[in-house]
Amino acid sequence: MDDRSKMMKMEYHAQQKIDHILTPDQAASLLQYIELKLQYHTCKHNHRFTQEWLEQNISFMQHDAILDELENMGGYCDCEVLRNCYEDYEL
């Protein structure tokens, strides 16, 4: 995605006033966790590391809603969560 496209997407999200389940700090922690794990392991095209982070940091009751939200942002697996999710948080 080029800079202009990213800018347009960020502006769109700002206009929509999207409220994510995870706070910016939680989202940053999740992305850092996935990035660290993917340095040593390949993506298996699932949410293995995302689910590990959720189990360690978030109430079980919210896991399904968060996974649904990630998929709605284009995060269908760990590497896609890292690339596509929480762009509007400017992390």
pLDDT for res 19:
84
What ranges do the domains of the chain cover?
Answer: 24-89
pLDDT for res 88:
84
The reported pTM is: 0.80
Distance of CA 29 to the CA centre of its chain: 10
- Mean pLDDT by groups of 10 residues along the chain of 91 residues: 69 66 96 98 98 98 98 97 90 69
pLDDT for res 3:
75
Which distant-in-sequence residues (6+ apart) come within 8 Å of 33 by Cβ? 49, 52, 53
Calpha distance 74→25 (Å, rounded): 20
| Helix pair 48-57, 63-72: axis angle to 10 deg | 140
